[in-house]
Structure 1
């Protein structure tokens, strides 16, 4: 049996005893009284002389001794800060930091939002400026096209209004009846010898029918075949006098030869009529081509 095993109860008792003693000393022995107690001295016999004899204390004289009042300064006790108070202060600091961080974040979000709104407004203004520029450019092109078309129309009009010679231009009357005037139709041609009612150039050449419109340019069909016949072409004309659609060989045609139909269609597409802004957007009429043996 070992030494520790043999004296285990004694060792255990000693440890417990000294543990209790240490606890008692810590709890009651090591304590400083606050405030500190005043110092105590030895009581001394009252007298006014350095030498004297006798057992009876003489009576105090009437002279009043000056009393000196000493004000005792008592130190103020400061209460130690408890864990609860420290915890509350710590939470207040954390809450304050969180509120400041939230305010900074909110302000940053507002700044970014204003920035996005400003960028969108700038983009919208740029888009409006671009749209306005495109509109102005389109109007400019349209105006230039109209001016070019007017120049072409004026040239064609001058060409149609020119007579066979200068003497014819100076004439103020023309026709096969009596009286003064220019016999014929307002929708006719100066080159036609047919003075009756109707439109176009008579039965030899080109005949047109388009209500309220006058031709500016009616080219002759180009063909090299020894064929004859009449080809009626339905045409669709816009307000600017352009032929935008054709349909050759409709009712009234006397031939359906592919070569003549193709020649008539090509000539019709090149035809030009006067500009009329109050006319329908697309107006239908006909152009009749008389093909004769060459």
Structure 2
């Protein structure tokens, strides 16, 4: 034994083993397996009864009296009848539900078809109205254009004395070329003395004299093959008469003598509003534009 426990570790291991074994033996006595006498039974509980069939909610404590054969048959017939009636009721209910469902689906389909047709009609009507509107605007624009052209033609005819082309019935002529005809342009002014330029308001001018406005604005003659802007400095008295005119002032772009002389002559013939409070010699300007382009 001394040789078995000859080291410190062996003696320590033997002591620990002894303690553990002691605790295990004590545990077995106090917390060991229990034994029931008699042992518990395991399984499924079965209801108390005296026959293989039964009916009702009251539990008898003694065997029931045997029912007669006729009573059993009657009860079985009643059960069969109840089952049949229940089945018939369920079939009728199911059939009724099928009919209602079928009617509902048909109604929904019809309603959807009507709604689709209504939307299609609305879209078609809107498209038709839009087409009619565009056509009406187009016709109105054409009518307006024709009316404007007619008005321009009437105004032009009135301006040149009712003659709208060179193939008219008027006699005589006017010009400086010693050749039969009426020299000028269809858009010109019958009362103008010049033959060059683009007619219309091409020989018009800008009139500046403080707050006073021109009452008459005669156009300058146009007798030379020149173009450009001629600025005329003027002096006007209180009565509105131009008492002095100096053509070729600052801003002029062409100082050809033929243009300057015609601009001065037109400026001296211009009449202005009278103003008793104006200076005795009020200074202003008139701008004449001469053009050869169409």
Same fold per TM (> 0.5)? no
The alignment's TM-score, normalised by the length of structure 2, stands at 0.40
**TM-score using structure 1 length:** 0.40
